[in-house]
């Protein structure tokens, strides 16, 4: 009993939700593997986990054709400008998934060579913990990102919501002031 | 030219014409560049491949000088994944060092752990005290990882040549080996399973049967890979007599592993200088004299079959060693807790926690001292080598008598083998560069460390 | 790259064939780690020292052949020999390194076909010989492995390149230059390999900080590993 048999003559909805739905269904990742996580990302792309179930199997070699950049692995100081360039080459709208602790915060490599979190270089939409995260976790992160994308506001709404979020962030307690919470 | 400049070099002297015109291309203006170059009568084009390129196995950068479709010069640029692992290890205890070592060559992580632990054990002088079951488990894990690494090499190599089925087939086989590795260590990769003095935990119930069930599954995938690749005319055309590395350049560039064996030298550290009891296993070292990319793929497939033979022998031995210890008896070195798998992952076993928290204050002190401070290793240095899927993986460890390494240095086979890239690709087609990189099979995490 | 320079003289000779690693004071080693209040303990930590003949196994034969090939320069070239944990280490004066390497590769009784790279080690306490370069040599023919060690001072950190004998050491020497600042004279293209070209300093020396940042989370701060109190 699908939509073919009882198609309504018309449907109501917002452009926002329609565009979000259309965008979320096929997020193409840029082929951009850095380290250990890239191997798990490749594993996610192959048969046991099969990323194509969620519409992301088309790994694009050219960043211009990609929607989401999966930063899979540790970002060294030497690599950071290249990560930024790949991000700049991607066409809007674009999203960044920081895969694994090294990309998210530097992880166990707190030293001279590694950028302590790829968010120093590109804006990150979703962080995925793990060292390396299992393929199931990557799929979950992509699904979460799809939820974000589906509800992305547009036009005037977008500006209003961004302004409200910024105002709320300015009045919030900074993490460095949240003292005495680690027991 | 001085004699030094004419000898074979992976990185040749700089291009020495300062007046050569330079063209820079971004995006889609290639036709203009080509027109301009043709107008000036210049055929020399330098293109940059990577570090973000789908076919360079990670973050390798290759600078190619081409004339038409022919590569006239190729140079590799590395270091884009330099992680400072060796320096980081100097600030962690010898046991913690394993967790750093395992993240170097992340496709063959078990070998990094093994070589570092063998080095530590050599410094401690306890090489012969490691229990037999620990050695069997090490061999088992190393061979499973070898299969996984070779499958990644074959699979991604096939994918880079346009055959996605090769990659999906290879990865199904690799996932089968992962199930065994996961059952034993709790993790898919970066396991930190091999520890100085033994291994992190004993086999769970029903493990040997699980290993035995895995073997035919992997064998089936290997058969499939051989069937869909080796007789395929496109595959043969792309690989046969491509990326040839003969014996002389292979020896002078210090190439090891399947690349050296494809040139005819049956050198395998497992046979030449056995470690972890490899002398007691029955296996062959496949060798070829074709020295081309095709023969390297065949060698890797054959090595997988040999590894499965070793895995079978390991399973038989594990059956006999039921209940045997997996850590050295010396409590001053052995990790105090047996790890176990809980619902929230791998951790100290409940019995051990009951013992140190409820029964014995001394056990708690011992646990605390050994875990936070670590064990002391007598001053000195040691060098050990193991046969990694890519070649000879060496480890030079120096101790200052303390609880942390003074220096740990790894000789990754990929680092050495990658030096041969220029010789493999110069004079060939641009498309063959991808084949050459795929059959070198380096992992940039190991190359850069 | 730089021309081969005169390396005679100035080659530091090991005092009685020993490598000093550290002098530790206090009870727990590291600075500030002494919680007992008593700092009077003093421990001198050294690498295993020179070994007297016989060395055992095949070691005597190899050293004999090498000494014979070097002739009267043998005493000067091979400063001392260490046999420790079943490994043979030849401490070689840098001005004779190229000759020693050539003999090790070419002589049929030695035939060390492969040099497994060069590993730099920094011993800041070993005055005048702070930087050591270790060359593990592998013989496939005889299935043997030995180590050649060359020590230089920080102020004059120059070692002749052996890439003319072992081309496989090209990248390894670049790496050791990058991380330790040892200049390999005669190397065809001694550039940085792992760090960016404009990087300042040689990060794996002991006086170069690890470079970690303190981690702060909800008011609690964890210092980076090299600034924590350490037990050595």
Instruction: Closest CB to B380: pick one of C84, C119, C226.
Output: C84
By Cβ distance, the residue of C195, C196, C219 closest to A176 is: C219
Residue A26 burial (C-beta neighbours within 10 Å; 0-12, 13-18, 19+): middle
Is domain C15-33+44-201 in CATH 3.30.460.80, yes or no? yes
CB C148 within 8 A of CB C122: no
Instruction: Write out residues in chain B with pLDDT < 70, as ranges.
Output: 1-31, 33-34, 41-43, 55, 345-346
Domain containing residue A123: 15-175
CA dihedral A136, A142, A144, A145 (to 10 degrees): 160
User: Is any Cβ of chain A less than 8 angstroms from the Cβ of C223?
Assistant: no
Contacts with B392 from chain C: Cβ below 8 Å: 116, 138
DSSP states of B365-418 as a string? Answer: HHHHHHHHT-----SEEEEEEEEETTEEEEEEEEE-SSSSEEEEEEE-HHHHHG
Assign residue A99 the CATH number of its domain: 3.40.50.12280
* Residue B176 buriedness (CB in 10 A; 0-12 / 13-18 / 19+): buried
Does A24 score more than 70 pLDDT? yes
A63 at B interface, C-beta within 8 A:
yes
Say what the pLDDT of residue B8 is: 36
Q: Which of C212, C214, C216, C225 to mutate to test the interface with A (most CBs of A within 10 A)?
A: C212
Give a yes or no: residue A160 inside a domain.
Answer: yes
User: What is the rounded distance in angstroms from the CA atom of residue B160 to the CA atom of residue B242?
Assistant: 15
List every span in chain B annotated with CATH 1.10.645.10: 85-333+375-448
Measured on CA atoms in the order A38, A40, A43, A44, is the torsion positive or negative? Answer: negative
pLDDT digits (tens), chain C, 232 positions? 333 444 444 444 444 667 777 777 666 555 555 556 566 677 788 888 888 888 888 888 899 999 999 888 888 888 889 888 889 999 999 999 999 999 999 988 888 999 998 999 999 888 888 899 999 999 999 999 999 999 999 888 999 999 999 999 999 999 999 999 999 998 988 888 988 888 888 999 988 888 888 887 777 778 888 877 776 6
- CB contact B92 to A (< 8 Å): no
Q: Name the DSSP letter for residue B202.
A: P
H, E, C per residue of C31-51: CCCCCCCCCCCEEEEECCCCC
Which residues from chain B sit within 8 angstroms of residue A79, using beta carbons? 51, 59, 80-81
Helix B207-229 with B164-185: angle, nearest 10 deg: 170
* Contact (CB, 8 A) for B198 and B328: yes
Tell me whether residues C230 and B404 touch, CB distance under 8 A: yes
Quick check: B273 and C115 CB within 8 A?
no
Of B2, B444, B38, B439, the residue nearest B242 (C-alpha): B439
- C-beta atoms of B52 and A131 within 8 A: no
- Does the pLDDT value for residue A42 go beyond 80? yes
Of C116, C164, C232, the CB nearest to B411: C116
pLDDT score for B154: 92
| pLDDT digits 0-9 by tens, B328-354 | 888 888 887 777 777 776 677 888 888
The reply to whether omega before C54 is within 30° of 0 (cis) is: yes
Which CATH code, of 3.90.1150.10, 3.40.50.360, 3.40.640.10, 1.10.645.10, is assigned to B85-333+375-448?
1.10.645.10
Which residues in chain C (88-107) have CB-CB distances under 8 A to chain A? none
User: For A127-181, what is each residue's pLDDT tens digit?
Assistant: 999 888 999 999 999 999 999 888 888 877 778 888 888 888 888 887 667 766 6
Q: Are the C-beta atoms of B183 and B207 separated by less than 8 Å? A: yes
**ipTM for the assembly:** 0.87
Interface contact flag, B87 A111, Cβ < 8 Å: yes
What pLDDT shows up at residue B26? 58
Q: Which residues of C touch B373 (CB under 8 A)?
A: 231
Which among B12, B87, B272 is the nearest to C204, CB-wise?
Answer: B87
- Max Cα separation, chain C? 69
If you measure CA to CA, which chain B residue comes closest to A69?
A: B52
Contact at CB, B85 and A46, closer than 8 angstroms: no
Task: Give the position of tokens 């080796």.
Answer: B230
All chains having 3 or more CB pairs closer than 8 angstroms to chain C = A, B
* Burial track B383-408 (b if 16+ CB lie within 10 A, e otherwise): bbbbbbbbbbbbbbbbbbbbbbbbbb
Q: Which helix (H) or strand (E) holds A30?
A: none
Number of Cβ pairs closer than 8 Å across A and C? 40
**Where are any strands of DSSP class E within B3-111?**
45-49, 61-67, 70-77
> Closest chain C residue to B414 measured between Cα atoms?
C171
Inter-chain CB proximity C196 and A78 less than 8 Å: yes
pLDDT, chain A, mean: 86
Q: Specify the residue for token string 């520890």.
A: B195
Query: What's the structural domain count of chain A?
Result: 1
Q: Name chain B's partners: 3 or more CB pairs within 8 A.
A: A, C
* Nearest CB to A111 within list B88, B171, B188: B88
> How many beta-carbon contacts under 8 Å exist across B and C?
152
B385/C116 touch (CB, cutoff 8 Å), yes or no: yes
pTM flag (> 0.90): no
Comparing alpha-carbon positions, the chain B residue that sits nearest to C117 is B411
């Amino acid at each position: 009993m699908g939509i073919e048999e009882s198609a309504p003559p018309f449907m109501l909805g917002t452009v926002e939700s329609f565009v979000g739905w259309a965008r979320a269904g096929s997020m193409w990742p840029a082929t951009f593997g850095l380290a250990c996580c890239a191997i798990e990302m490749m594993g996610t792309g192959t048969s046991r986990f099969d990323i194509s179930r969620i519409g992301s199997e088309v790994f694009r070699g050219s960043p211009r054709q990609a929607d989401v950049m999966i930063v899979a692995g540790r970002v060294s100081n030497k690599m950071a400008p290249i990560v930024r360039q790949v991000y700049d080459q991607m066409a809007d709208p674009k999203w960044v998934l920081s895969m694994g602790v090294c990309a998210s915060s530097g992880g166990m490599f707190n030293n001279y060579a590694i950028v302590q979190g790829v968010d120093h270089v590109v804006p990150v939409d979703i962080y995925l913990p793990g060292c390396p995260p299992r393929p199931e976790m990557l799929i979950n992160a992509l699904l979460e990102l799809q939820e974000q994308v589906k509800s992305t506001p547009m036009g005037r709404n977008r500006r209003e919501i961004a302004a409200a979020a910024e105002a709320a962030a300015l009045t919030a307690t900074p993490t460095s002031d949240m003292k005495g919470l680690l027991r | 030219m001085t004699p030094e400049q004419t000898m074979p070099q992976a990185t040749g002297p700089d291009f020495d014409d300062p007046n050569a015109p330079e063209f820079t291309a971004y995006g889609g203006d290639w036709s203009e560049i080509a027109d301009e170059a043709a107008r000036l009568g210049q055929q020399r084009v330098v293109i940059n491949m990577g570090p973000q390129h789908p076919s360079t196995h990670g973050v390798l950068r290759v600078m190619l000088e081409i004339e038409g479709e022919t590569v006239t010069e190729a140079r590799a640029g590395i270091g884009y994944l330099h992680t400072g692992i060796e320096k980081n290890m100097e600030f962690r205890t010898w046991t913690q060092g394993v967790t750093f070592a395992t993240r170097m060559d992340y496709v063959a992580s078990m070998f990094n752990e093994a070589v570092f632990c063998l080095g530590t054990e050599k410094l401690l002088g306890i090489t012969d005290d490691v229990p037999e079951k620990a050695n069997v488990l090490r061999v088992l894990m190393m061979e499973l990882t070898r299969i996984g690494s070779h499958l990644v090499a074959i699979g991604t190599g096939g994918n880079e040549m346009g055959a996605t089925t090769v990659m999906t087939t290879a990865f199904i086989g690799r996932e089968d080996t992962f199930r065994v590795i996961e059952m034993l260590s709790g993790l898919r990769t970066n396991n930190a399973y091999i520890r100085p003095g033994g291994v992190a935990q004993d086999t769970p119930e029903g493990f040997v049967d699980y290993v035995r069930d895995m073997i035919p599954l992997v064998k089936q995938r290997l058969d499939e890979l051989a069937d869909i690749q080796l007789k395929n005319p496109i595959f043969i055309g792309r690989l046969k007599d491509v990326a040839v590395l003969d014996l002389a350049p292979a020896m002078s560039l210090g190439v090891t592993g399947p690349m050296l064996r494809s040139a005819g030298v049956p050198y395998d550290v497992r046979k030449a200088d056995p470690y972890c009891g490899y002398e007691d296993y029955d296996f062959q070292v496949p060798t070829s004299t074709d020295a081309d990319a095709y023969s390297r793929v065949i060698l890797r497939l054959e090595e997988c079959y040999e590894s499965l033979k070793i895995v079978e022998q390991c399973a038989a031995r594990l059956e006999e060693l039921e209940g045997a210890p997996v850590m050295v008896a010396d409590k001053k070195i052995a990790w105090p807790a047996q790890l176990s798998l809980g619902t929230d992952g791998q951790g100290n076993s409940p019995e051990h926690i009951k013992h140190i928290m409820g029964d014995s204050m001394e056990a708690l002190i011992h646990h605390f001292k050994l875990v936070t401070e670590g064990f002391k290793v007598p001053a000195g240095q040691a060098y050990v080598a193991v046969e990694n899927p890519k070649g000879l993986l060496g480890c030079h460890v120096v101790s200052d008598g303390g609880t942390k390494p003074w220096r740990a240095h790894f000789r990754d086979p990929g680092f050495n083998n990658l030096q041969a890239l220029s010789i493999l690709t110069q004079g060939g087609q641009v498309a063959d560069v991808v084949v050459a990189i795929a059959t070198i099979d380096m992992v940039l995490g190991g190359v850069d460390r | 790259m730089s021309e081969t320079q005169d390396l005679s003289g100035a080659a530091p000779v090991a005092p009685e064939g020993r490598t000093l690693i550290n002098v530790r004071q206090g009870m727990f080693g590291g600075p500030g780690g002494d919680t007992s209040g008593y700092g009077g303990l003093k421990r001198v930590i050294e690498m295993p020292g020179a070994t007297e003949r016989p060395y055992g196994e095949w070691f005597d034969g190899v050293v004999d052949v090498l000494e014979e090939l070097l002739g009267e320069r043998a005493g000067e070239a091979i400063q001392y020999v260490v046999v420790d944990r079943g490994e043979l280490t030849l401490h070689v004066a840098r001005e004779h390194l190229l000759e020693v390497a050539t003999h090790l590769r070419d002589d049929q009784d030695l035939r060390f076909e492969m040099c497994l790279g060069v590993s730099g080690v920094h011993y800041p306490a070993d005055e005048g010989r702070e930087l050591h370069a270790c060359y593990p040599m592998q013989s496939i023919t005889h299935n043997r492995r030995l180590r050649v060690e060359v020590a230089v001072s920080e102020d004059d950190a120059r070692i002749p390149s052996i890439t003319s004998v072992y081309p496989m050491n090209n990248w390894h020497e670049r790496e050791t230059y990058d991380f330790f600042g040892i200049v390999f004279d005669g190397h065809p293209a001694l550039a940085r390999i792992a760090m960016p070209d404009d990087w300042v300093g040689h990060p794996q020396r002991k006086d170069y900080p690890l470079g970690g940042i303190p981690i702060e989370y909800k008011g609690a701060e964890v210092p980076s590993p090299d600034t924590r109190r350490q037990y050595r």
